[in-house]
Structure formats: C-alpha cells, structure tokens
A and B are shown apart, each in its own frame.
Chain A
Amino acid sequence: MADFFFHTTLGQLLLIVLESLAVLVPLLLGVAYLTLAERKVMAAMQLRKGPNVNGPFGVLQAFADAIKMLTKETVIPSGANRMLFLFAPFLTFSLAMIAWAVIPTGNGLAIANINVGILYLLAISSLGVYGMLIAGWASNSKYAFLGGLRSAAQMVSYEVSIGLVIVSVLLAVGSLNLNDIVLAQRHVWFCLPMFPMFIVFFISALAETNRAPFDLPEGESELVAGFFVEYSALAFGLFFLGEYANMFLMSGMVSILFLGGWLPPLAIAPFTWIPGPLWLIAKILFCLFVFIWVRATFPRYRYDQLMRLGWKVFLPFSLAWMVLTAGFLMVTGLLPGGAG
C-alpha cells in the first residue's frame, strides 16, 4: 500500500488529491460555519439572539443558506461581458483555495513544502484583486465598477505594507520557507518582539480581505453592494465563500508569521499533549474571532482616511521597523544565515 502511494506516478497523483481533499473539505466546512459564527458572535455582541431557527442553536442555518443560494436563478445583466462576468467569482474562489497548498499544519505537514512559500502566499493574495476588478468591469454597472476600482486601489496600497512586514519577519528567520518561519519561533513567537508589526499586519489583513472597517469596495451605504451588486445565486455564493476563505487564509498567515503556527505557547507538558494541527486551528479561530469583533466594533473608514493610513502611516512605519530590525540583527550578530 505504502509502495503504491509513494513509488508509482498514479499513486503519487492520488496522494496529492487525497491531501488536497484533507485540507479543502475542513476548510469549506469551516467557511460555511464561519458565516454562522459571524452572525452568532455579532448577535451576542449586540445583545441579539442571531439565527436560532434551523436546528439546535441554528447550526443548520449554513446549509439552509447554501441550498437557497444554489436554487436561485443566476441573473446576468444585459450588456455585461458574459465570459468575464462568470469567470470573476470562480477566480476569487479558486485563488482562496489554492493558497492552502503551502500552509504547513505541522512540522513538514504541507501539501507542497516549497522554498519560496511566503512569496507564493504573497503572490496569490495579490491576485485576489483581479476577481473584484473583473467583476466590477464585466457587470457593466457604475456601482460595481466603482467598487472594483476602489478594491484595486485599496489592495495594491495595503500589499505594500504587508510586503514590508513580511520582510521584517524574514530578516529574523533567514528563509522564505513557511516551515522554517514557524520553526524559528520555537523560543519566542514573533508577535512579542515584533508586536507593532503584528498589529500593522493584522490591520492590513483586514484591508486586504475587504473586511470592516475597510469594506469600502462593497460599502453598501454608498455603492449598494459594490463590485458584486449585479451577482446572484451561485456566482454571488462563490464571492461570498471566497471572501470568508480569504479570511481563513489571512488568519493562517497571521498565525504562521506571528503566532508560532503549529507550536504550543510553551514546550512543556500540558501544552505538548495537544497535537500541532489543533494549535494552528485554535490560533486561526482566534484571529477569525478578532476579525468579527472588529467588524462589530468599528464604523467604516472614509476612503481618504483609508489611503492615508496605508501610505502615510503604515508604509513609513513598517519601512522604519524593517531598517531597525536589520540594524539590530546586524549589531547583535543574530542575523541568520551568517555572512556567507
């Protein structure tokens, strides 16, 4: 059996499919329940009950929503670019899925443990903007178009600070491999020595996923629903799932870069009994809770405030921090990789 999986081409292909399913099925279930969790958590914060009709505590609400979404009619506006209109939601959704190929859930436990893992994640997350931009343009509607343009400007702006934060972390690790990044946090998680960068990264992650308080691309108070205003049924569902899967992805990135990935907080007895993947899941869920908490707490930013924060606050700050990190590591001789 092991021979078949590890030594034949067919077996290896089958193994990759099985590995992918092992990641994607829990992810999609998680996405379905994140939509429910968001409504429940926000309801609790606003002293409401939230969905409580379908099943005990409303746990079947996610499936009710899914069935509703699947059985509705897909409306394609006249004058829309049919091909691109339908392509955009699939792009958004599949980009949110393929990024998980490199996320390590344990030591060496990734579908693809590649040397440039963090660059792959950065590349995939920077592609997310195309789904929105294409959707906005192909809808042939001014609200959708404005939403698409907003999302393009917003995501390109915040990618800059995300990139600089990642560089600071990489300076301390000395490798682009996600596995090495987690292993470098054996003694102390990066969220402690790099606490300001942790905050900058988290806020940029909010902007990158178009979550409140940066949800201007959909800003319903001025753009109705922004770039997906013309979408319905399954196509809308894919956008919706893509957004929540992106939240999972960004939470995964925060966990791996700053919260020690699959590592327990302290390498002592009661913590080490819990397997690594569970630690990673717990950290991701914590980040997701903060995403929802932020949404229930803060009002939406104005667009000029958003741009000011990205370009005039985060960019200089993360650049200064990067120089500081490099200088500190150089002076103390802690720079990984040596001068070779």
Chain B
Amino acid sequence: MMTQIVFYVFAAVLLLSATMVVSARNPVHSVLFLILAFFNAAGLFLIAGAEFLAMTLVIVYVGAVAVLFLFVVMMLDVNFTQMREGVQRYAPIGGVVGGVLLVELLMAFMHWRSASNIGQIAHLVPSSPERTNTAALGDVIYTHYIFLFQACALVLLVAMIGAIVLTLRERPTGRRQNIDRQHDRTVADSLEMLQVPLGAGVDAQGGFLRPRESYDIAAVPGTYGTEAWRVAEAKDATGTALVIATPAHGTKGEGDE
C-alpha cells in the first residue's frame, strides 16, 4: 500500500516535470525540471530495489551531465521574445517529427517481445537475498560481458577524443605556465638587489627596466613571448608591466628558448 502511494507520487512528479521540461519558457528552468525528472526516476529505481542504478543515475546524470547542461544553458544569451517568434512557422515540422516518433513508439510497444535466449542468461544473476544488486550487476558486466562492455567504453573514448580534437585551439595570445620551469627558477635567476643612492634611480647603477621577453622563462614555448603574441600584446601595451632591477648585460632568459 505504502509502496504504491510512493510509486504514484514519484511517477506523477516525473511525468509532470518531464512535461515542464518542454513547456517551460526559460531554458534554465527546463534544465532544472530535467534534474527533478532524473531524481524521480532514481526514486522509481529505488522502489524497484535497484539501489545501485538509482545512485548511479543521480551521480552520473544529476551530478555531472546536468551540471554541464546547466553550465552551458546559463551562459547562453537567450532573448525570450525572439525565441518565440518562429513558433507558428516551425510548429508543423515539429508536429510531424513528434507524430512519427509517437507512431514508431506505438509500433514498438505493440510488437514487444523478450529475447528468446533470456532463459539462458538468467542463471548469471543468482537472486539470493544476501546478494546485493551491485555484485550481481558487476558479475554480469565485468565477468560475463567484459569485452562488449569494454567495446562500449572504447566508443565513448573515441567520442571524447573527437570532441577534444574538434574544440582544442592554440591561441597565440594565451599565457600558459610551465610549472616545472617555474619551480626551477631561483632568486638569483630572476632578480638582483641593488644599492640605489637616493634620487639616482637604478640607471645610475647600470640597472634597467627588465624587458618583457626575458621574464617568459616559465612560459610554455610558443605561447608567450613569440612574435604573434607580441603583436597582439602591442595593441594594448601601455608600458612595461613588471619592474625588476637587473644589471645591464643580465639577459637571464637568453639561454632558454
């Protein structure tokens, strides 16, 4: 009795929030309703006794995927009035696509059959009360279907590498730091203390304002201090940024590339 009430509450909220995902005007609200829908699906898994799936759903979809959704949607510059402009024009196309999907779903449901060999693999999941469903899932995935599972992982890996290759771009103006070389710097490498007489300035001692190209010791080669970088930087250059007194012939970064 109690379980049934809980089931209907979860199911109702799930359907309601799923409807709100497509009908909410604000895309951020849509994503938040999607998260609510994920939650209620996790609740349904819990009622079905699939505690591992429930927790994984929350960790993977709510904790990671939806965060990135929200991250992207929040950064969109959406104009709500502009967004609703074309509704009249695109409604028929959307309706057709939705209708085709609905008919296909109905056809799938009408011819729903379990795989014929389901009886042969049932023994892989022994249902003793002390066996947790985490262990049962692990057995099936990692012991009996390890190669198929790894193949799925490889497909995802390819997709991931593809996404990185498509979006990674080297910007000449980027300032990246080579941590190891930064750690290798010593005080003697980078600055020298001068006894400057009052009012004379560092010039009298043979010191000078350190030029920019000599403090890129810790920069990743090719990103900082290159010609392209200097051109881009010259546009908004208003003078030397860092002032450290060093001897006149002290080009400390010379040996470095």
Residues of A within 8 A of B (CB): 84, 114-116, 119-120, 122-123, 126-127, 129-130, 133-134, 137, 145, 148-149, 152-153, 156, 159, 163, 176, 304-305, 308, 337
- Measured CB to CB, the nearest residue on chain A to B143 is A339
Asked if B176 CB lies within 8 Å of chain A CBs, one says yes
Which residues of chain B are near A156, meaning CB under 8 Å?
A: 64, 67-68
B135 engages A133 (CB within 8 Å): no
Measured in the bound complex, the distance between the Cα atoms of B176 and A134 in whole Å is 31
| Chain A nearest CB, measured from B103 CB (Å) | 37
Task: Assess whether B52 is interfacial by the CB under 8 Å rule.
Answer: yes
Interface on chain A toward B: helix, strand, loop, or mixed SS?
helix
> Once the chains are docked, how many angstroms separate the CA of A305 from the CA of B176?
10
Q: Given the complex, which residues of B lie within 8 Å of A134, measured CB to CB?
A: 32
Chain A residues near B177 (CB-CB < 8 A): 304
**B127 within 8 Å of A (CB atoms):** no
* A-contacting residues, B127-149, CB 8 Å: 132, 134-135
Contact B64 A120 (CB under 8 A): no
Q: Given A129-B67, A137-B74, A119–B62 Cβ distance below 8 Å?
A: no
Interface centre among A163, A176, A337, by most chain B C-beta atoms within 10 angstroms, is: A176
What distance in Å separates the Cβ of A78 from its nearest Cβ neighbour in chain B? 17
Please tell me which one of the listed residues B35, B59, B67 contacts residue A123 in the complex, with CB atoms under 8 A apart.
B59
Q: Decide yes or no: A159 and B64 within 8 Å by CB, A119-B52, A119-B55, A120-B55 being known contacts.
A: yes
- Asked if A308 contacts B179 (CB within 8 A), the reply is yes
Q: Is the CB of B55 within 8 A of A116?
A: yes
Query: How far apart are the CA atoms of A127 and B39 in the complex, in Å?
Result: 11
What distance in Å separates the Cβ of B35 from its nearest Cβ neighbour in chain A? Answer: 7
Does B70 count as interface, using CB distance less than 8 angstroms?
yes
Q: Which residues of chain A are near B64, meaning CB under 8 Å?
A: 126, 156, 159
B71 interfacial by beta-carbon distance below 8 Å:
yes
**Known pairs A156-B64, A156-B67; A176 contacts B59 (CB<8 A):** no
Whole-angstrom distance between the alpha carbons of A304 and B174 in the complex?
12
**A127 in contact with B63 given A120-B55, A137-B28 (CB within 8 Å):** yes
Q: Say yes or no: is B56 at the interface (Cβ < 8 Å to chain A).
A: yes
